Structure 1
Amino acid sequence: MDLTDLAFDFCKQLPSNERYNLIDQINRCSCSIPSNIAEGSGKRTHLHFAEFLSTAISSSYELQTQLLICQRRRYGNTEMLNNCLMLVEEIQKMLFSFREYILSDTSIRLDS
């Protein structure tokens, strides 16, 4: 959720002509990360949850790509952009580790 807030705040600085391109894309994929984690946590099996974590990871890479495009085009505040990129990488590591933990421990029951 912190990443989503930071990404939305970063988008406020982007050129208005990017409203239907980068801004919408950044907002969508930054929302998709916590949304897929939340949706997956409500699933009955660890395999289903892992699938939603994989989708969240994919969304994080999509967000990272959009932010790198902003970096290449020199859009927005550099410090805020760098903070977004660092947080994306941190979240990717956490999601990978969490997904691997869930997949390695077949005794986890998510419905309890």
Structure 2
Amino acid sequence: MNHKDLDVWKEAMVLVELVYKITTTFPSSELYGLTSQIRRSAVSIPSNIAEGSARNGFKELYQFIGIAMGSASELETQLLISEKLNYISSDFELVEKQLHKVRKLLIGYKNYIKAKL
């Protein structure tokens, strides 16, 4: 299946957009720190879904979905740190909601793949 047809990939792409929008308001001193880490974590989610989809079978796809889930957890932690530092504007709840949606889809997709192994 083409990764661009997957709801989980589409929703992860929406998450990336939201993350880039909220991080534009971060202090310039964080450009190479937290801003960069948050953006990389977000981009890693749809990237790993895409890469896993292009691999040779469900075993590799399962592994890459696991990596995407790890990136989602990493992103969540970084967003919470940003909130504690008062870097995130009122859009935090929107990003948090989208991240929760993506994580739920990742879990469902991983369970689907596991059944195919």
Q: TM-score, normalised by structure 2?
A: 0.86
Work out the number of aligned pairs and report it: 105
Shift of 1:105: 2.3
1:93 and 2:104 aligned: yes
The correspondence of residues 55-74 of structure 1 with structure 2, limited to 5 A, is 55-74=67-86
Shift of 1:56: 0.4
Q: Aligned letter for 1:42?
A: A
Shift of 1:15: 0.9
Name structure 1 gaps, 5 residues minimum.
107-112
Q: Bigger radius of gyration, 1 or 2?
A: 1
Indicate the percent of aligned positions where both proteins have the same amino acid.
34
Shift of 1:74: 1.4
Match in the other structure for 1:40: 52
For residues 44-69 of structure 1, give each alpha carbon's deviation from its aligned partner in whole angstroms, at most 9, with x where no partner exists. Answer: 21110010000000001111111001
Let me know the Cα RMSD of the aligned residues.
0.9
The correspondence of residues 1-112 of structure 1 with structure 2, limited to 5 A, is 1-78=13-90, 80-106=91-117
CA distance in 2, matches of 1:94, 1:56: 11
Shift of 1:71: 1.0
CA distance in 2, matches of 1:69, 1:85: 13
CA distance in 2, matches of 1:76, 1:66: 11
